Amino acid sequence: MNLNDLIKNIKNKNSFLCIGLDVDLQKIPKHLLELEDPIFTFNKGIIDATHQLAVAYKPNIAFYEAYGTKGWRALEKTINYLNQNHPEIFTIADAKRGDIGNTSSRYAKVFFEDLDFDSVTVTPYMGRDSVEPFLAFENKHTILLTLTSNIGAFDFQTQKINEKELYKIVLETSKSWRNSENLMYVVGATKAEYLKEIRKIVPDSFLLIPGVGAQGGSLVEVCKYGITKDIGLLINSSRGIIYASNGTDFAEAAAIEAEKIQQKMKQILETL
Amino acid sequence: MNLNDLIKNIKNKNSFLCIGLDVDLQKIPKHLLELEDPIFTFNKGIIDATHQLAVAYKPNIAFYEAYGTKGWRALEKTINYLNQNHPEIFTIADAKRGDIGNTSSRYAKVFFEDLDFDSVTVTPYMGRDSVEPFLAFENKHTILLTLTSNIGAFDFQTQKINEKELYKIVLETSKSWRNSENLMYVVGATKAEYLKEIRKIVPDSFLLIPGVGAQGGSLVEVCKYGITKDIGLLINSSRGIIYASNGTDFAEAAAIEAEKIQQKMKQILETL
């Protein structure tokens, strides 16, 4: 998907909501466990109920690998279902991969070609040649971990190199990489005040923002510092939406929670 | 596996060789492609021919994910084969994972419990709470990316924070994490001179050293600076061994290459 289609969809739906499909068999409704593929059935229910409220879906790959070949198959079915039925949806493989060049190429092929995701999250620690294999794919997007929403972010990401925090060095350095126009960045919403600084370095890039809701970030704060003329934000919510109910009404309950966020987004977009 | 068993095996075999099982269907012998599971058949051939020369095997997970559910199944069969037939072998899932706590727990469970690997490689960028879920497993080992063998290592890893390179900060910080005795570290062999500095910070920890061979590192140099009284090194070679021949003699050819390295290791161990 190219960026213009994503931006158009955000404006059409008055939403920049991304729904995290982090499926845990211990948390989904019990009645689904008797079915042949509970993970896919759950995802399909969530997607059918929320796809008009969200512009992106983000399965975290750990939750699928946790169920071995069955999990991987459920992931394949989920991305195929999205691509076939909702081609306007921006899909994110939250994989946090990164390896030496020829191995990163393998991961890129898995997520961009075989599974046909629009984007994948990548970790920057190994530098340029671990990320550029992902950037080489046209109309595919590489979402680089920059400043994460967990407490461990302060261990290294905010440490200063020549008076400048590592996450800023990552942002600046990444702009010089080949096909850097295919970069987006992960920025944890629990650190909204950092967005001001981040926008000085990447004024236009899309930011994927986890941590609104369960992890405590504020939507209004994030938008205040992070929004651009093309919106430039994807706000992710996972548990607060997909586990709103663990009864047979799980999909409707998810839609109600998604709509609450979408309505707040609509208000924000109307004031721009 | 506990460390004593690994050390005992190193001394028994006069080897600290790790063989990287990075299986690429375009590089393995053509005659295997007609079989039902070429990847596992290839791995089994390599393992059968080399297990007396090596103390560890390291599948890079990217190469298995590249083949979807079939690849994942081949990975399961490979680790099961190793655990059932060669329980003395130290197994490494080269996955370079790392995510927020509850997600890292998922990955840890996949590699340590479901697949029953002895160790997994983990990336440090997200800090303490992204790594500690891996460290919580008894007799399992977390191999933290520290200084990698690729050119991109100079983008961030060798940048200085208060006069000290990031990779050293990673080493020092990681020592304060809960169950840090379960840590090992990845250090690229192309940077043997750095090992002297690294040994000042982690004098006894095991180091996993890729990049001897294909990536140009020297075994003698690495041992000069890195070896400890309990050896403390696992030297990985992948392509140089497993793709020594792409004919029907691939396993024998792999054994010949593995033995060349093992013999050099034996010489080094005899001079200690």
ipTM (interface pTM): 0.95
For position B158, what pLDDT does the model report?
Answer: 95
Q: CA nearest B154: which of B188, B185, B124, B183?
A: B188
pLDDT in tens, A201-217: 999 999 999 977 655 56
A72, A99, A132, A157: best to mutate for the B interface, most B CBs within 10 A: A99
Query: Which portions of chain B are predicted below pLDDT 70?
Result: 213-217
Q: List chain B residues with CB under 8 Å of A153.
A: 126-127
Smallest Cα–Cα separation from A222: which of A187, A177, A178? Answer: A187
Residue A131 · residue A108 · CB < 8 Å: no
Beta bridge partners of B60: B94
Residues of A in contact with B156 (CB under 8 A): 124-125, 127, 166, 169-170, 173
Calculate the CA A1 to chain-centre distance: 15
Among partner residues B63, B124, B153, which is closest to A127 by beta-carbon distance? B153
- How far apart are alpha carbons B155 and B177 in whole angstroms? 25
Which pLDDT does position B191 carry in this prediction? 72
Of B63, B106, B145, the CB nearest to A125: B145
Q: Is A106 helix (H, G, I), strand (E, B) or coil?
A: helix
Task: State the Cα–Cα distance between residues A53 and A234, nearest whole angstrom.
Answer: 13
How far is Cα B206 from Cα B192, in angstroms, rounded to an integer? 15
Q: What is the C-alpha separation between B269 and A160, in angstroms, rounded?
A: 42
Is residue A221 within 8 Å of A192, Cβ to Cβ? yes
Q: Are residues A31 and A42 in contact, defined by beta-carbon separation less than 8 angstroms?
A: no
Give chain A's count of helices (H) and strands (E). Answer: 12, 10
> Cβ(B99)–Cβ(B91) under 8 Å?
no
Q: How far is CA A53 from CA A11, A226, A241, in A?
A: 12, 21, 12
A190 sits in which H/E element: none
Work out the percent of chain A whose per-residue pLDDT is above 90.
90
For residue B257, give both structure tokens: 């290459």
Question: Which single residue is written with the structure tokens 């690229």?
Answer: B188
Residues A123, B155: C-beta atoms closer than 8 Å? no
Search chain A and give the residue with CA nearest B22: A103
Q: Does A103 touch chain B (CB under 8 A)?
A: yes
Are B69 and A65 in contact (CB < 8 Å)?
no
Main-chain dihedrals φ then ψ at residue B88, nearest 5 degrees: -80, -10
Mean pLDDT of the A192-201 span? 92
Interface of A with B in 249-268 (CB under 8 A): none
Boundaries of every domain in chain A: 3-270
Q: What are phi and psi of B247, to 5 degrees?
A: -100, -170
Count of residues in chain B? 272
Residues 6+ positions from B255 with CB-CB distance below 8 Å: B49, B50, B53
Tokens 């099961």 belong to which residue? B80
pLDDT (tens digit, 9 = 90+) per residue, A224-258? Answer: 999 999 999 999 999 999 999 999 999 999 999 99
Q: B39 — contact with chain A (CB < 8 Å)? A: no
Query: Does A59 reach chain B within 8 Å, measured CB to CB?
Result: no
User: How many Å apart are CA A248 and CA A32, to the nearest integer?
Assistant: 9
Calculate the CA B107 to chain-centre distance: 17
What sign has the CA pseudo-torsion B56, B171, B231, B244? positive
Task: Return the number of CB contacts < 8 Å for A and B.
Answer: 166
Q: Report CB contact under 8 Å: A151, B62.
A: no
**CB hemisphere CA count around A107 (13 angstroms):** 32
Contacts of B215 (CB under 8 A, 6+ apart): B149, B188, B189, B190
Pair A219, A235: CB distance under 8 Å: yes
Shortest CA distance from A98: residue in chain B:
B96
Q: What is the pTM of this model?
A: 0.96
State pLDDT tens for residues A54-87: 999 999 999 999 999 899 999 999 999 999 999 9
Q: How many CB atoms lie within 10 A of CB B263?
A: 13
**pLDDT at res. B190:** 74
The predicted structure's pLDDT at residue A211: 76
- Provide CATH code, domain B3-270: 3.20.20.70
Partner-chain contact A125 B157, CB within 8 Å: yes
Tens-digit pLDDT profile for residues A2-49: 999 999 999 999 999 999 999 999 999 999 999 999 999 999 999 999
Q: Please state, as a whole number, how many other Cβ atoms lie within 10 Å of the Cβ of residue A265.
A: 23
Count of residues for chain A?
272
H or E segment to which residue B78 belongs: helix B68-85
Task: Name the residue type at position A122.
Answer: V
- Res. A192 pLDDT band, cuts 50 70 90: confident
Is the separation of the CB atoms in A211 and A234 below 8 Å? no
